[in-house]
A and B are shown apart, each in its own frame.
Chain A
Amino acid sequence: MKKGWKILSISIILFIFIVVLLIFLPTYTDEAVEATDLSESREAASIHHHYPRTVEDSAGRNITIYTPVKRIVVLNTDTAEAVRILGCSEKIVGVADGIITRKGYYFPELNATPSVGKWNEPDIETIASLDPDLVVAYVRWPGAELDLDLEAFDVPVLRLDFTDQENLKEEIRKLGYLLEEEKRAEEYIEWYTGYEEAVREFVEKEKRRPRVFLEGSKGVEDLSEIGTYANGSASDTLCTLAGGINIAHNLTTPFPHVEAEWVLDEEPDLVIKQRYVRWGWNNSSKPSEIRDEIMNRPGWRSIIGEENVYVTSCETLYGLDSIVGLVQWTKLFHPEFKIDPEAVYREYLEMQGLQYPEGMIFIYPEI
């Protein structure tokens, strides 16, 4: 028995020793490889004009590219859209699976592109196998392990969000610089700024400020917990820029839940119900049904007129096309505003080589 016990103890100690040995092994090979890669990069930089190129990404890190970017992996729809605006879709060699499975209709050119896994936990081996020059991801997702793991393959990770209206112009400028598409980036910024200025000038002159209740995307049945948007959310910013007053602006968190009676007590002039749908609606039956459900809530019809309740797709409210949402809400709050949101959306899609989906409803009732 004592012999067996000794063998067992030795085995366990040996096991722990092997594991520890594996961890503490010197990493001279890695260092040698890093040095080689770095010298190669520097050599390449001297061949390519205007390189290296460095930008500070939205995570506050300096990202340096030593050679022209020819292969890109994008991990979310916003970055895929940004790369397409810059005319570089053909450089995309890997995408997060949601870009194909959920928004394949919007990115038909990427449907055959290899998937690299989920947007918040991609498969590093697959990314590395695609040998990209650049990976573009959100600032917070996936976590820092993505950068650490890809650093071993000498693949830089550029973190940009394209969700904050204040930063997205600067973000596309940085991406344009790294992809050598500065001209296209400036064209987009100019286009965006043109409409942004038009809205700002109009809203500054307009004294009327409708009081608006912005309702979240989830179902309409639960009257005790209606999701809304407050200060700190993109919807709240959009509402303010469009010349409206969000009745939930001062609530404590960016995405609070409120009771139906609170909304009635506030007596909003307008209600905008947002809905995540596949782009928009092919006909009015579904949004009309959603509006009816809202109006059938006890007491709502007596406070809010049916003509003041709108149901909108979230498609154009956030991200690079949020200028369409801004124009749409400005028109909604101030019908005398002359710019047609549909025309703006047509221009945006045209910029990306997409056909406008004729007959599709993005807001109901039509404005």
Chain B
Amino acid sequence: MTSEPSLRSSILEEYTGLTQRKLHLIISLFLLLIFLAVLSASIGSADLSLKDTYSAILERFFPEKISVDQFAYTVIWELRIERVIMGILAGSGLAIAGVVMQAILKNPLASPYTLGIASAASFGASLAIILGVGVVGGAHIIIANAFLFSMVAALLIYGFSRRRTSSETMILAGIAIMYLFTAMVASLQYIGEAEEVQEVVYWMFGSLSRANWSSHFPYGNLGIISMILVVTIPYIFLKSWDLNALGTGDETAKSLGVNVERIRVSCMFLAALITASIICFTGTIGFVGLVCPHITRMAIGSDHRFLLPGSCLTGAVLLLSADTLARTVVAPVILPVGIVTSFMGVPLFVYLLMRERGGYW
């Protein structure tokens, strides 16, 4: 028979070990992400040597000490690193939005897709591409429309969440919204010219090629997405205990002092804002938001203190590696990143599902 102090000590030891394993996994993911970012910046269609690549990277930080060919500098800083950063930001943002939606709705199927946000963005983009109708004119018409309609879908969901609707009803409402916008996209495609329809389809595949930054406010689309993530992600991280409590049921969460309605509404709005701000620039990259949270959950469990940063990193790793493959595998032809993400992620996801036999959720 074990004594109470030794039992407590062994439980504590086991818990500490488990926590350390999760931390190690997250740190490994972080290191993998850095490795991938450097690798991705090193490979591309332009024939640059590794020396040129790294010199170009370092020249920005030490311009007086290191000098490199201007072409190499421009390729690295104006093309590759923009894509790398967009891959990291978009992957992290979409994955964290997926975790939050799944936690709030307590449903493994929740994602920007199933809640209709991606379909709404596609409709906004289609409206701009096929009919040229938009809230603003000029070069930003597609981005503005996609963002606006994503937020319309998000507001509809927000409206549902304010009415204290059950999570099942919200999922069903999201699916209904998705079907509505999908039908509207189809009707626009029906009347569109072949090239316009092709452009819509291409937009819906998703691409990181639209990444850009500038030295002036709001610092290009990378600046906009970063600012939104910098404001929203720390808040979501701070609420990780509350999200854990929500997983035990609304009543239990309330008894633990969590304001369930407020956390649901605020986190849902933030997740929708993150999704909208990303997909309006990249097009709909749907797979990351749905599956990265599950892959991470299988590896490190459902504790949101670890799941949130873990999913962030998994999303960034998956999207960055998919984009690197997409732009190099049949270069100079660039494959749509959304397709490559699915091709890479689905086998991994199915393998993990089979191994876990669905018992992780």
Whether B305 lies near A5 (C-beta < 8 A) is: yes
- Closest residue of chain A to B195 (Cβ to Cβ) is A141
Contacts of B190 in A (CB 8 A): 257
Whether a CB of chain B sits under 8 angstroms from the CB of A359 is no
Whether a CB of chain B sits under 8 angstroms from the CB of A153 is yes
Q: Find residues 97-146 in chain A having any chain B CB closer than 8 Å to their own CB.
A: 97, 115-118, 120-126, 128-129, 140-141, 143-145
Picked from A125, A143, A145, the residue with its CB within 8 Å of the CB of B46 is A125
Given the known interface contacts A8-B309, A123-B331, the answer about A26 and B229 at a Cβ–Cβ threshold of 8 Å is no
Whether a CB of chain B sits under 8 angstroms from the CB of A367 is no
A143: min CB distance to chain B, Å: 7
Query: At the interface with chain A, which of B69-77, B101-109, B158-166, B265-273?
Result: B69-77
Contact with B along A10-34 (1 / 0, CB 8 A): 0111011001101111111111010
Whether a CB of chain B sits under 8 angstroms from the CB of A256 is yes
Whether a CB of chain B sits under 8 angstroms from the CB of A254 is yes
Whether a CB of chain B sits under 8 angstroms from the CB of A148 is yes
Whether A11 lies near B30 (C-beta < 8 A) is: yes
Picked from B20, B45, B237, the residue with its CB within 8 Å of the CB of A4 is B20
- Closest residue of chain A to B203 (Cβ to Cβ) is A143
Whether A123 lies near B75 (C-beta < 8 A) is: no
Given the known interface contacts A19-B89, A129-B45, the answer about A124 and B192 at a Cβ–Cβ threshold of 8 Å is no
Whether B47 lies near A129 (C-beta < 8 A) is: yes
22 A-B contact pairs sorted by A residue (CB < 8 Å) = A4-B20, A4-B23, A19-B89, A20-B230, A22-B81, A23-B219, A25-B61, A29-B73, A33-B70, A97-B333, A117-B334, A123-B45, A125-B79, A126-B46, A128-B79, A129-B45, A145-B209, A145-B212, A153-B71, A254-B193, A256-B191, A257-B190
- Closest residue of chain B to A59 (Cβ to Cβ) is B139
Contact with A along B40-51 (1 / 0, CB 8 A): 000011110000
Given the known interface contacts A29-B60, A149-B79, the answer about A22 and B332 at a Cβ–Cβ threshold of 8 Å is no
Contacts of A12 in B (CB 8 A): 233, 237, 309, 312
Whether a CB of chain B sits under 8 angstroms from the CB of A253 is yes
A131: min CB distance to chain B, Å: 8
Whether A118 lies near B333 (C-beta < 8 A) is: yes
Report the interface size for chain A: residues with CB under 8 A from the other chain: 54
State the CA gap A16–B61 with chains docked (Å).
18
Contacts of A97 in B (CB 8 A): 332-333
Q: Find residues 247-297 in chain A having any chain B CB closer than 8 Å to their own CB.
A: 252-257
Whether B78 lies near A152 (C-beta < 8 A) is: yes
Whether a CB of chain A sits under 8 angstroms from the CB of B94 is no
Whether B75 lies near A128 (C-beta < 8 A) is: yes
Q: Find residues 33-60 in chain A having any chain B CB closer than 8 Å to their own CB.
A: 33
Whether A141 lies near B199 (C-beta < 8 A) is: yes
- Closest residue of chain A to B130 (Cβ to Cβ) is A253
B16: min CB distance to chain A, Å: 6
Q: For the complex of A and B, list the 6 residue pairs with the smallest distance between their C-beta atoms, beginning with the closest.
A: A123-B332, A152-B78, A126-B332, A117-B332, A125-B46, A125-B45
Contacts of A69 in B (CB 8 A): none
Whether a CB of chain A sits under 8 angstroms from the CB of B324 is no
A126: min CB distance to chain B, Å: 4
State the CA gap A145–B199 with chains docked (Å).
14
Contacts of B20 in A (CB 8 A): 4
A127: min CB distance to chain B, Å: 8
Which of A22, A30, A116 gathers the greatest number of chain B CB atoms within 10 Å? A22
Whether A148 lies near B212 (C-beta < 8 A) is: yes
State the CA gap A129–B45 with chains docked (Å).
8
Whether a CB of chain B sits under 8 angstroms from the CB of A1 is yes
Whether a CB of chain A sits under 8 angstroms from the CB of B26 is yes
Picked from A4, A19, A30, A116, the residue with its CB within 8 Å of the CB of B332 is A116
Contacts of A124 in B (CB 8 A): 79, 209
Whether a CB of chain A sits under 8 angstroms from the CB of B210 is yes
- Closest residue of chain A to B210 (Cβ to Cβ) is A145
Whether a CB of chain A sits under 8 angstroms from the CB of B235 is no
Given the known interface contacts A23-B85, A116-B332, A152-B78, the answer about A143 and B210 at a Cβ–Cβ threshold of 8 Å is yes
